Structure 1
């Protein structure tokens, strides 16, 4: 078995490689070459933590495995980030464990890569203003990945805790982009692309706040009850996601689906756009990508990083 420690990931996996891996696995899903297993996600009744498993099998890349981990909201007292995970890969020919890979940075990179894939394929032409809702750990990765894909000339940001907005300002400065902290009505009116990456359990961005051609990447909702967008906003947009069944059950679209203002047939897997089986944005004024986070994304980036680690002598081989 190969082990790739968390400490090695930053020197191995780039944003570019993560984008390529995630776009490829979305395409494999759309072709029927890859599928996700049902998600297990539970509140464990200790430290307010959510813990679970996401897994799947990609026949085209021969990636089989799962990511185990979750969300520990009190981790600051331990000097750790709230999201903690490890990816386990298995040999699809024999079932033997093949690799254990630190999953924290990979999760941030693959989440940002997923929204970047949606921006490449769904953003309005000539998008120049990027809006960020949320300033937590993953927000910097989101901004960096988005800036690689589109030629933004400024960034607007909002966070429920304004004292955290320094992360967005610093990231924008590193990218050479002007940054301004604004209220949500202005962000919704001026941003061409909006990324929401929060742990909210009630809508933040309301229907009437979004004006003009806009693409929204809703990346924070991955659990029953979580919510970032007004269901009325969802109902008037053209909808895309990583996996439809997950989106309408635990993703951002669960609320509009529960209200029966949308159905499963109103939601398109982003992979269909990637492989040219769906027109994508078309004449829609607003598009929304619901990034629920699927296990196949984790396996794709983990498989790529294992190969890089072996090539560079950074993977540790352990007999089991």
Structure 2
């Protein structure tokens, strides 16, 4: 193949190339732009398909959409295989398929594993940038799995944190977060969930829990919480009463109430769909966001297909420009 990738054909961008070509800054900008486009009505997500396949305890599905502003069209196919860690593989497995919105032709196949972690971290960091108190000093991390280190690095770029407090149901996994904190020059302490709530100014939850890990009365006034793990019916990371106490924001309101953290608070009648604000409205300046330093703000980050398309489009574009990847033709 020529060293310069031809501009026609389908570019295949593998996982290693994704790591080379897209940064946290790129992901933050792409996710912020697509949230803003969604709030303006310039982009929309298609209905999510997510099913237990009855094999390997796996969840598999599709997320897709179209962004008229960014001209991103496509889908992410993949899911969650809980046994993969024991095989030396990432539990989340996915591939993004991008299509030319002018012709419908397949334009790129992009590895989705690294980008999923990157865009999820970008989503929570966008919420921190727009909703957390400016003087936040302590970051709380609930969860220490694969995505937690991405979350920690992205969050640390949004505020001048001095310390990380963390809890994980399997405490032996905490050293991976401690190592990242040390790399960032931040103090680190493993704590109980209740103590985490007592210390943290910003909290990120990134688990696969199906029951509350943080109770409402543990959270201090002025805290910002980014709930990033709940993306399926039945999953849950926080006390539903916490959403009733908080100003609630979401990547997409409809998905928040159906498969996000808000599903439980809505089902119990504690909040309604109208109580949730798209974070894109804050980005666009049509909603003030945090009203006072003492408010609790909560971001329900369910993960929308447009996030994947946005970062994958950036990765595919840069790969073409740098002559990376492989170009193939279907016919």
Give the whole-Å Cα distance in 1 for the aligned partners of 2:195 and 2:252: 31
- Structure 2 portions without partners, runs of 5+: 1-9
CA contact (8 A) 1:28 1:271 kept: yes
CA contact (8 A) 1:36 1:294 kept: yes
Deviation, 1:182, is 0.5
Residue 296 (str. 1) matches residue 306 (str. 2)? yes
Residue 140 (str. 1) matches residue 149 (str. 2)? yes
Structure 1 length as normaliser, TM-score? 0.99
Q: In structure 1, what is the equivalent of residue 78 of structure 2?
A: 69
Give the whole-Å Cα distance in 1 for the aligned partners of 2:247 and 2:221: 14
CA contact (8 A) 2:134 2:159 kept: no
Give the whole-Å Cα distance in 1 for the aligned partners of 2:24 and 2:59: 27
Give the whole-Å Cα distance in 1 for the aligned partners of 2:243 and 2:130: 19
Structure 1 runs of 4+ aligned residues shifted over 3 Å read none
Paired residue total: 320
**Cα distance per residue 1:77-121 (max 9 Å; x no partner):** 321010000000001111111100000000000000000000000
- Structure 1 portions without partners, runs of 5+: none
**Cα distance per residue 1:186-240 (max 9 Å; x no partner):** 1101100000000000000001111121000000000000000000111110000
What is the CA RMSD across the aligned residues, in angstroms? 0.7
Structure 2 length as normaliser, TM-score? 0.96
Give the whole-Å Cα distance in 2 for the aligned partners of 1:268 and 1:133: 24
Q: In structure 2, what is the equivalent of residue 202 of structure 1?
A: 211
Q: In structure 2, what is the equivalent of residue 250 of structure 1?
A: 259
- Indicate which of 114, 124, 143 corresponds to 2:123: 114
Give the whole-Å Cα distance in 2 for the aligned partners of 1:246 and 1:127: 29
Deviation, 1:31, is 0.8
CA contact (8 A) 1:221 1:252 kept: yes
Deviation, 1:315, is 2.6
Deviation, 1:285, is 1.5
Of the structure 1 ranges 70-79 and 188-197, higher mean CA displacement relative to structure 2 is found in 70-79
Give the whole-Å Cα distance in 1 for the aligned partners of 2:325 and 2:252: 32
Give the whole-Å Cα distance in 2 for the aligned partners of 1:61 and 1:51: 27
Residue 238 (str. 1) matches residue 241 (str. 2)? no
Give the whole-Å Cα distance in 1 for the aligned partners of 2:90 and 2:13: 19
**Cα distance per residue 1:296-316 (max 9 Å; x no partner):** 000000000011101111131
Give the whole-Å Cα distance in 2 for the aligned partners of 1:306 and 1:160: 37
Q: In structure 2, what is the equivalent of residue 89 of structure 1?
A: 98
